[in-house]
Structure 1
Amino acid sequence: MGKVYLVGAGPGDPELITVKGLKLIQQADVILYDRLVNEELLSYAPKAARRIYCGKRPDHHSLKQEEINGLLCEFAKKGNVVIRLKGGDPFIFGRGGEEAEVLAKNGIAFEVVPGITAGSAAPAYAGIPLTHRNYSSSVAFVSGVKPLESNADEYWKHLALGPETLCIYMGVKNLPDICENLIRYGRSPKTPAGLIHCGTTEDQQTVTGTLDNILEKAAGIENPAMIVIGDVVLLREKIQWYEHMVIQDSFPAKIVSG
């Protein structure tokens, strides 16, 4: 029997993978990797290692989750070192928990190797601290997928009046609903908001505004993008650092703010 490692590949910059994650890639027999994994990381795997793309885009999955689960079990039962390489962190909107459940049910040894999630890394690269003693003492990581209609009122009321900082994953498509509902359930229309596209990479683009104008300012921004809502977004004007470094190093930067 082999072993499965659920490895977080980090948010995009290949240098942000953990040392442990990189060492495991170097020992892999099989790697099943997601769309948001920087493929530069695959070059560290042995040449003989099998590489299987499992990417998911909105409304399109190259492999269904059930198929991925089956492959993890199949390769492990054949004695392989199997790396399930996921963008960000396996247990933060990465379905790592579901895969771990399947592995445990089938008696397959596994290990979870945490990674840096885009929810913290992308804002950091955009110069937006998620907490700050003068602005925010609470933060929530939130899925941008619409909640079930049966609990929508309570859901939006909690987000609008609860955590001071919201980090919203997979929310670009639903950004109009997100802004509308947060305002409807109690957040000020003038609450600062930002979108960070392709955070931590050379293609990073950051757009800032407020709940009542971010739709206009972020027109054209596509996935992958993190949405950050809260007063901490104001700090970007003071402490943005990555774009300045990018300009100094002479590789592409896209800066939009307001």
Structure 2
Amino acid sequence: MINYAVNPRLTMVGAGPGDEELITLKGVRALEAADVVLYDALANPTLLRYCQPEALKIFVGKRAGLHQVQQRSINQLIVRYAYSHGHVVRLKGGDPFVFGRGQEEKEYAIKHGLEVTMVPGISSALAVPATNNIPLTSRGVSESFWVVTGTTRSGTLSSDMALAAQSSATVVILMGMRQLSSIIKLFSQHRGGDESIAIIQNGTCSNEQIGIGNLQSIQQTVREQKLQSPAIIVIGAVVAKHWESVQQKVAGLALV
């Protein structure tokens, strides 16, 4: 039943890559004004402290194998709570429009009469390499970058992955750990086994782990460090910049 006493609306907020300080000021203000917050597993739950005490806070993180069913339920929850409570904030990890299914939720909300506002977030594809001193572009090293999903509906590698592997660009792969062996095989065919690669788990968070090597060695590193999802994969010559920054830091400390 529609509650005509409320103004049903949705604000889609990108929570950033994990570090609570990397949410935008506009995102914080949306949380402060929320009547209901639906938040994902990759959104830092400490951000909920910005909400009013009376605001409803509902976890809607997905489980493997049930994504499609749960997505329909989330769409329905957005509309239901908007009409019963008013202002719904959908808090999503990273940026809602970067492999976050934000467009699907936006279209469903608009179709059901909700006013929708978008608040972009800092994507892990950009932030996680940066905080580990890996530039996605660097003059004379990389002129462009790709951001590709490692998970498609069919369970196979995206056709864009093959195109990315054939390029000289930096390639950032999200949700790719389950396909790591296939990704390594593909990139090795086009770039050779010496191509640099970094795998960063829980990027920007206190429990972050990073494994760096080349395409030949990285699987051994993954096993030794027990790296797993959520993680991003960065492939390209720019990965070497991480070690350069580490060496510079060590050299600087030696001079103190």
TM bracket (short chain): 0.7 to 0.9
Counterpart position of 2:3 = none
Corresponding residue SS for 2:91? strand
Name stretches of at least 5 consecutive residues in structure 2 with no aligned partner: 1-6, 251-256
Report which stretch shifted further, 96-105 or 82-91. 96-105
Do 1:54 and 1:61's aligned partners in 2 also have CA atoms closer than 8 Å? Answer: no
Normalising by structure 1, we get a TM-score of: 0.87
Aligned: 1:178 with 2:183: yes
Do 1:123 and 1:228's aligned partners in 2 also have CA atoms closer than 8 Å? Answer: yes
State which of 192, 197, 207 in structure 2 corresponds to 1:193. Answer: 197
Counterpart position of 1:2 = 8
1:240 deviates by: 4.7
Aligned: 1:103 with 2:109: yes
Corresponding residue SS for 1:173? helix
Supply the distance in 1 between the matched residues of 2:125 and 2:144 (Cα, whole angstroms).
Answer: 14
Deviations 1:141-168 (A, max 9, x none): 110115859996x544312112511110
Name stretches of at least 5 consecutive residues in structure 1 with no aligned partner: 245-258
What amino acid maps onto 1:211 in structure 2? L
What amino acid maps onto 1:164 in structure 2? A
Counterpart position of 1:40 = 46
1:123 deviates by: 0.6
Supply the distance in 2 between the matched residues of 1:17 and 1:86 (Cα, whole angstroms).
Answer: 11
Supply the distance in 1 between the matched residues of 2:39 and 2:153 (Cα, whole angstroms).
Answer: 28
Supply the distance in 2 between the matched residues of 1:235 and 1:203 (Cα, whole angstroms).
Answer: 22
Counterpart position of 2:164 = 159
Supply the distance in 2 between the matched residues of 1:172 and 1:119 (Cα, whole angstroms).
Answer: 14
Corresponding residue SS for 2:191? coil
- The count of aligned residue pairs is 241
Q: Structure 2 matches for 1:77-96, cutoff 5 A?
A: 77-96=83-102
Normalising by structure 2, we get a TM-score of: 0.87
Do 2:94 and 2:124's aligned partners in 1 also have CA atoms closer than 8 Å? Answer: yes
Supply the distance in 2 between the matched residues of 1:62 and 1:236 (Cα, whole angstroms).
Answer: 38
Counterpart position of 2:173 = 168
Supply the distance in 2 between the matched residues of 1:237 and 1:155 (Cα, whole angstroms).
Answer: 29
Seen in structure 2, the aligned counterparts of structure 1 residues 52 and 163 have a Cα distance that, compared at 3 Å, is farther
Counterpart position of 1:116 = 122
Do 1:137 and 1:164's aligned partners in 2 also have CA atoms closer than 8 Å? Answer: yes
Seen in structure 2, the aligned counterparts of structure 1 residues 62 and 48 have a Cα distance that, compared at 3 Å, is farther
Supply the distance in 2 between the matched residues of 1:121 and 1:57 (Cα, whole angstroms).
Answer: 25
Tell me how large the CA RMSD over aligned residues is: 2.3
State which of 208, 211, 215 in structure 1 corresponds to 2:212. Answer: 208
Corresponding residue SS for 1:116? coil
Seen in structure 2, the aligned counterparts of structure 1 residues 163 and 146 have a Cα distance that, compared at 3 Å, is farther
Supply the distance in 1 between the matched residues of 2:156 and 2:130 (Cα, whole angstroms).
Answer: 35
What amino acid maps onto 2:110 in structure 1? A
Supply the distance in 2 between the matched residues of 1:138 and 1:170 (Cα, whole angstroms).
Answer: 21
Do 1:125 and 1:240's aligned partners in 2 also have CA atoms closer than 8 Å? Answer: no
Q: Structure 2 matches for 1:65-80, cutoff 5 A?
A: 65-80=71-86
State which of 7, 11, 20 in structure 2 corresponds to 1:14. Answer: 20
Seen in structure 2, the aligned counterparts of structure 1 residues 100 and 197 have a Cα distance that, compared at 3 Å, is same
Do 1:90 and 1:115's aligned partners in 2 also have CA atoms closer than 8 Å? Answer: yes
Supply the distance in 2 between the matched residues of 1:65 and 1:159 (Cα, whole angstroms).
Answer: 29
Which entry has the higher C-alpha Rg, 1 or 2?
2
